[in-house]
């Protein structure tokens, strides 16, 4: 059995707010740089294409409604022409990509918070829709379903992903672990609008460490930042955003090993891209102590059942009888 070793990159930056094409261009610039530095995997923040609905936290729902419309206009379908350069970049640079998007739903005006998993051949091998939007996010996103709780086998190893707060969901995390996940991508947004006593950077690190330690795997965290551009766009209607955006410990990006410890120096608040060497063989020995998928569990006591069927919004039944034949 071959145990993969590879270099991974993670990005902490802001999108070009509500601009799909320019955000994709920005992503590709990071992809090129990561590939030149030997990375075979790159992680991008939650809903990086093309922005997070910060207005939900600083405006009333009525005031924020026009921004919801703008976000929908700048949401994407995975088959859109604007997305093709991203897939091509994965192929051209022989790199795996996990990136968050605002995905258009089938219903006009419907948006999902979605993570895409793109392999090094430029193929979209999977997408995960956030199961439960967090708090004020419920004003924007529709909930995903169990059909996207999957782990994807790639040339560098099995990859799974969850977005932001759902990394707190023990059952969702266990569902990925049970499918052999060894590389977990946890992506987030900078959240200076959280309650004053809430340390977002520390909360992100705690969640990532918990998943890595419990599952004996590598977690790669990518978090966005709030650019001056985003502040300037929202400030006329929400002047408090300028002060909030200065808040410290609002973003954390980095790498966590199977022992739950941070690898190298993480990014806290600062923009940039950092790297780590991933050796999946290091996931073996810790399992001897706690293998919650094997000897360190009691499946005769515990029984987790996961509904992986896609949500069915309507069922058409035709039981009409032809009375003329009676």
Active site amino acids: 46, 130, 164
Structure tokens at 181: 């996940």
Neighbours of 62 (CB within 10 A): 7
The Cβ of residue 186 has, within 10 Å, a number of other Cβ atoms equal to 29
Considering only CA atoms, which of 20, 46, 19, 30 is closest in space to residue 191?
Answer: 46
Question: How far, CA to CA in Å, does 20 sit from each of 15, 24, 50, 114, 137?
Answer: 9, 6, 5, 15, 20
* CB contact burial 71-94 (16+ within 10 A = b; e otherwise): bbebbbeeeeeebeebbebbeebe
Which parts of 111-164 are beta strand (E)?
A: 111-118, 124-129, 152-154, 157-163
List % helix, strand, coil for the chain (3-state, nearest 5): 35, 25, 45
Give whole-number Cα distances, 56 to 14, 164, 192, 198, in Å: 18, 16, 13, 18
């Amino acid at each position: 059995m071959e145990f993969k070793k590879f270099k991974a990159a993670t990005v902490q930056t802001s999108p070009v707010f509500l601009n799909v094409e320019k955000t994709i261009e920005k992503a590709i610039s990071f992809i090129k740089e990561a590939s030149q530095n030997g990375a075979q995997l790159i992680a991008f923040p939650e809903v990086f294409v093309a922005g997070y609905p910060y207005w939900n936290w600083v405006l009333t729902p009525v005031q924020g409604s026009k921004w919801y419309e703008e976000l929908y206009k700048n949401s994407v379908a995975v088959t859109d022409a604007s997305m093709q350069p991203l897939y091509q970049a994965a192929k051209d640079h022989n790199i795996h990509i996990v990136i968050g998007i605002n995905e258009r739903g089938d219903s006009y005006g419907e948006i999902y918070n979605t993570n895409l998993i793109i392999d090094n051949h430029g193929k979209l091998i999977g997408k995960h829709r956030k199961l439960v939007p967090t708090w004020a996010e419920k004003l924007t996103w529709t909930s995903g379903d169990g059909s996207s709780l999957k782990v994807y086998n790639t040339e560098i190893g099995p990859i799974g992903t969850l977005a932001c707060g759902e990394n707190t969901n023990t059952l969702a995390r266990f569902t990925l672990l049970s499918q052999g996940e060894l590389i977990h991508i946890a992506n987030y947004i900078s959240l200076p609008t959280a309650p004053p006593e809430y340390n977002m950077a520390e909360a992100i690190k705690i969640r990532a460490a918990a998943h890595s330690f419990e599952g004996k795997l590598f977690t790669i965290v990518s978090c966005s930042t709030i650019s001056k551009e985003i502040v300037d766009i929202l400030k006329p209607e929400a002047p408090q955003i300028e002060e909030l955006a200065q808040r410290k410990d609002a973003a954390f990006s980095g790498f966590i090993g199977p022992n739950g410890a941070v690898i190298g120096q993480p990014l806290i608040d600062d923009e940039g891209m950092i790297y780590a060497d991933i050796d999946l063989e290091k996931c073996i020995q810790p399992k001897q102590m706690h293998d919650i998928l094997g000897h360190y569990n009691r499946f005769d006591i515990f029984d987790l059942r996961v509904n992986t069927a896609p949500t069915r919004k309507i069922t058409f039944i035709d039981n009409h009888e032809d009375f003329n034949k009676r």
